[in-house]
Structure 1
C-alpha cells in the first residue's frame, strides 16, 4: 500500500507515495480536495520540481548541453520513499537517479513533510544539493480545491489575497504556456469573484514578495480554505477554461515558467533558485480548513 493516512480530531488526510501527492483532505465528512476526475484534470495536488510551469520549447541549456523536460518537472511522476511517519505527520524523500540525470544533471535530495496541527495541514519542502557543483531549480505547489464546498455554485465563491494591496500580475502566453514579463501590469483590488471568464487567459500569476495568504470562501456557507506562506515569490490561481471544472487551484511557487524572451540558460532563468554544494533550501505552505 502506497497511501498513508494521518488524522486528528479535525482533519483526515491521505497522501500517496507516488509523487508524494495529497489525495484527500476531509473535515466533518466533507472532501475539500479535488479528486482528480480526468474529464477536467486528472491530478489533485502535484509537487512541481525541479521546474515550475513550462520551459520555452520544452528544453533548457546547462553547461553547453541541451536538456528536455516536460512542464512542472518530474517529481510528480516519481515514487517517493516514506522515511518517517506517526499519527499526525509523514515524511517522503526523492533522490536523484539514473532517470532524473537524463533530464536534470544534478545530484539532489528532496524531502516533503506533511504535518497536522488542529485544522491546519503544513507542507514543508527541503531540497539538499548532494552535488559538487551549484544546483539550479524551482519548486512549487499545485493543490486543487473543490468548488463548491458542500453547497452553492462556482459563481458563489471568491478568492481573496492578503495583504490587501495592488500587486503585479504576470500574463501568460496561452498558446505557449510561457510568461510575458514585458507585459507585467499592476492589478488593483484583492478579491476575485469566481467565474469561467476569470481564467480565460489561463492562470492568474501574481508576484508575492511578502508573507501572503489566499482564501477561498463563499456567500452561502461558512466553509473556506486558506493557503498561506512566507517565502514564496509567486502564486498561480487556476481553473481550466472553458470547461466548467468544479475546482480551483491555489499554487504558491518558488519558481515560474520561462519568459517568452528567454535564451534558455537555466542559470539565468527568471525565478530560478541556486543552491551551493551541500546546502539545503527550505520552503513551505499551510492549508487551513474551515
Structure 2
C-alpha cells in the first residue's frame, strides 16, 4: 500500500512494501528513479539488517550458519504504518519467526519520513528487543534521475562535502566483496558523471562526521543534495555497462563483507552492536532544488 506526503514544495510517495520511497516530485518533475526493471527494478530500498553482500550469501553466529541475500530482508518486507500525518509517516518492521530463521535477533526497526519545506528527513530507528547483544547494519539506497529534467548523464556531476581525504575501499567486481587490502586514502571532491565511472561497481568511501553529496548539472538549477551523519560509509553507484539514467547516493551504517572475511557475524567489519533494550538511530536528509 502506498501513502503520500505533500506540502507546498514536494509531493512524496512511500510504499509500505520495503518502507521504500517511490516518488519525489517538485514542480511536477520526478526526481526519483522509477524502477525500470530493464536496468534496476527498485527506487530507494531500505537496507537492513545488512548492507551489501555476504560472502557466499551466508554468515555464522553461535556456531550456526544463516543465509541472507544482499542488503538484507527489509527491502522485501511489508512494514506496518504506525503513524500517518500530513507531513510525517512512520513505518515499523518487527522480528517474526520468518526473520528469526535468517537473523536470530528480536528487534523493532522503524523508518520515519518527514517533510520540511524542500527536504525529506529520513530517520532509521532500531530497538534491540532481545536478551543478547544485537549485531546489525543498515543503510539507504536512493536512486535519482539523471537527467532530472534537462541534458544527458554527462551534463551532471557529484560533489562531495567536505572535500578532504577519506578512505576508498574497492570492490571485487565478480563477488561484490570489499578488497580492504587495497583500500587507499584519496582526495574526493567533484566527480563528473560518466557511465565508465562505475565500471568497477560502486564507489565506496568512508564518511566524514557530517557530510553531503550533491547532484547538480550545468544546464539549470535542479539538483539533489543528500546529507547525513552517524553513518560511517557511503556508496555511489550506477549500473555499468547498462548506461541507466540514474545514480545512487547511499549513506550506510554498515558495509559488505570483505574478500577475506571469516564469516563470523561477531567479526564482520563495519557492523553495529546494540545492547538489550537499547536503541540506535541515524538520519539522512534529501534536499530537492
TM-score (norm 2): 0.99
Matches within 5 A, 1:82-231: 82-231=81-230
Q: 1:268: how far off? A: 1.4
Q: 1:125: how far off? A: 0.6
Q: 1:167: how far off? A: 1.6
* Paired residues of 2:162 and 2:208 also in contact (CA < 8 A): no
* Paired residues of 1:166 and 1:190 also in contact (CA < 8 A): no
Q: Partners in 1 of 2:196 and 2:180 — Cα distance?
A: 22
Q: Partners in 1 of 2:188 and 2:91 — Cα distance?
A: 38
Question: Tell me, which stretches of 5 or more residues in structure 2 are unaligned?
Answer: none
* Paired residues of 1:119 and 1:288 also in contact (CA < 8 A): yes
Matches within 5 A, 1:66-77: 66-77=65-76
Q: 1:165: how far off? A: 1.0
Q: 1:209: how far off? A: 3.5
Q: Partners in 1 of 2:102 and 2:165 — Cα distance?
A: 38
Partner of 2:51: 52
* Deviation digits for residues 213-242 of structure 1 (CA, Å, limit 9, x no counterpart): 000001111000000001110000000000
* Paired residues of 1:202 and 1:240 also in contact (CA < 8 A): yes
- State yes or no: 1:260 paired with 2:259: yes
Question: Tell me, which stretches of 5 or more residues in structure 1 are unaligned?
Answer: none
Q: Partners in 1 of 2:123 and 2:152 — Cα distance?
A: 32
Partner of 1:247: 246
Partner of 2:13: 14
* Paired residues of 2:135 and 2:266 also in contact (CA < 8 A): yes
* Deviation digits for residues 163-210 of structure 1 (CA, Å, limit 9, x no counterpart): 011221100001011101110012224100000110001000000031
More displaced stretch, 77-86 vs 186-195: 186-195
Q: CA RMSD in A?
A: 0.6
TM-score (norm 1): 0.99
* Paired residues of 1:209 and 1:231 also in contact (CA < 8 A): no
Q: Partners in 2 of 1:204 and 1:91 — Cα distance?
A: 31
Q: Residue 69 of structure 2 aligns to a residue in which SS?
A: coil
